[in-house]
Structure 1
Amino acid sequence: MEHKRYIVHIDLDSFFVSVERKFDPSLIGKPVLIGGSADRGVVASCSYEARKFGIHSAMPMRTAMRLCPHAIIVRGSHGKYSEASAQVTKIIADTVPAFQKTSVDEFYIDLTGMDRFYDCYQFATDLRHKIIRETGLPISFGMSSNKTVSKMATNEAKPNGQLFVQHGREKEFMAPLPINKIPMLGEKTCQKLYQYGIEKIRDLQRADLRFLQTVFGQAGRAIWEKANGIDYGDIVPQSDRKSISTENTFGNDVADHKTLESVLVSMTEELAFKLRKENMLASCLAIKVRYANFETHTLQEKIALTSADHILIPGIKNLLKRAWNRHRPVRLIGVRLSQLCQGNYQINLFEDNEEKIRLYRALDKINFRYGDKTVCRAAGMEIGTRNFNPFMK
């Protein structure tokens, strides 16, 4: 007999804002924006008080300030958030049999089979209270038979709440909600569905599968399944791949900083693209430098979970400065991204601005379609004129 599945989705509410409020309680109850500069930055995270003004993450900061001129902008610190995330991760890891961390503030937990020994909803409730007690951070969870419905349940339970969608009640729970509440249903897809008068999930549940396949091709079935609360996706505890790396051995030893940096940019860009392609994030960055006499130095640095070039590339350049003795020619150079976990590239990065977000989406779209490295940064291109391949294994 097959076990009923019990999947819990946990999300730390307005995570960056909540962490900042722990350090500065005067921010409690006020509209707070975390993110980049007021002129070109984007909102990484915002408090519920700010959301009432129509502000949301990824919105240009200047738009947000127009909507709420008295909002407080906080630059934020990756270190604080990584530490808080690690604290929550440890509590979860010490308590549950299997979990998947999909971002700095989001987790899926598989309690399937535990219903023989525990009330799974009570178990999840106790875990939530333990996290709140030990970290002081507000947290919400949803529980159901699958990942899609649990994530939607969390969103309905926020802020600082919990919701169990019982087995067999998935369609009923989803029916009155707008279609844009379905995770991974993009704006374009929703716009297309609106044209056919499909606005609520119940409309989508009633839609004919063949109609959806005609309009959306292969994606039609996935849309229909999600709308009907069907999701067979498993919890992936961690990547089989703990790291990805690449290195280059030079034909002639190199002592030119610009050359070494260009190779590193190209290699880091390649690895970051692979991460995004496989829906992975890295939290450790390392560089390897081998000199002419085969003496080898490695240096690594913990970073916030990311797959973003514009965080990884400056990190690698910084490691090069620290690891390389400028007077010594280099025989081999390498980059490794490690401590990987499943998760999508997130916009909530302080270094992001509107142009960068659009650029990533465009670059990845082209590279997915036409193959790796169809387009890349000029800094990575320069090496092509020097007759060596940075991706030689």
Structure 2
Amino acid sequence: MTVTRITPGQLLTSRQKFGLDVVSILVYGRRDVVLAIDITESVGLNDQGRIRLRQIVEDSLKSGDYVYVVPFAQDIVLNEVTTIKNPLGTPIYFSRNNTDNINKILNKIPLTSNPNHYGTDIQKAELTIYQGIAQINQNRLYKNRPIKPQSVVWVTDAPLFTQRGITSDIWIETPANSPFRIAESPPSKERENWINALPLKKRSLIIDTQNNKDYKLSVVDIQPTVQEFCTPAPGGQETCLVNPYLLKQLWLPSLISLLIIAVCIGSILNFHTLQKKWYLTITIKDDEDQQKKYPLPNNEKIPLGDDSGKCIYSIDVPGEKLRAYLERKGKKLYLVPEKDSIIELNNKRIKARTLISSSNFTLNCPDGRHKEYEIKIKIKK
């Protein structure tokens, strides 16, 4: 899709907002951070201001952040050509928190005022920066890339979020010919529309200067968002931007999440199955009226014959010696004969550990005179 200049779009649903939040979480730690610095003489950063900006750069930036340094006065002063693809200039990629990256940003911040720049048009700066930062996320949507949360750090003595049609009583520095002095001018309306369209959350701190003046350091956080445009299409349909974008971004994470959930459910069910006791119903062929039930937990065994009291339950067989064990391992049952013992499973002599695959089986433990002693066993799992 061709990248176009963005305008405020339609309201997003709560589900779309949630989906956009999820998309941004997939690139956790990566944000757009705009350092908007008023470079007029009325702000001239003092030591406290420099300390606080350094704090933001050193302590708040995260690996993967993109940092835009945007000086402004009557206009944005970037000293570079801006495009729709880079509406706020070329960002500094903060790949990791180290001295080189920190210095790249600090060296680009105008820490002293510029006497050649005066008359801060704050509403023009707000429009340029908010429209620009919205454009950056919208460009990602057009290219099917994850959007990001964004923040604007304002360093200025001018008031933010004022009503359109700013007068000298509110802010005297706005140039006399600025269209933002006219409430009904297109730029004034556009700025107001962007302030209403973006989910802005502001926090401010007043910084005193040596000349008994002050300015504010304000942080405006913007939740990850894009502008939705739905257009009627032939056949009673409509075409939109956000839902197809979310589908492309989230189908793989959703599939992985479903697989993880399925594995977790399977593990829980498997754990429950393993913890569930089996019950063995024992019937002696010569005495079918008498049945006994034995519980068999996982990793336990039931001896056939005398095991000197090692197990709680045991199955009586002819003779004084231990013939074998019925041993449960998870979902499997084994017949484990003792050395030189005589025991048959379904009429077959067993001499080694053998898996019992059926829930109904017959064991034969002949005595010394080779007399048959059949035991029918039924397992209830």
Indicate whether the TM-score tops 0.5: no
> Quick check: which has more Rg, 1 or 2?
2
More strand by share: 2
More helix by share: 1
What band does the TM-score fall into relative to the shorter chain? under 0.3
In the superposition, the TM-score normalised over structure 1's length comes to: 0.21
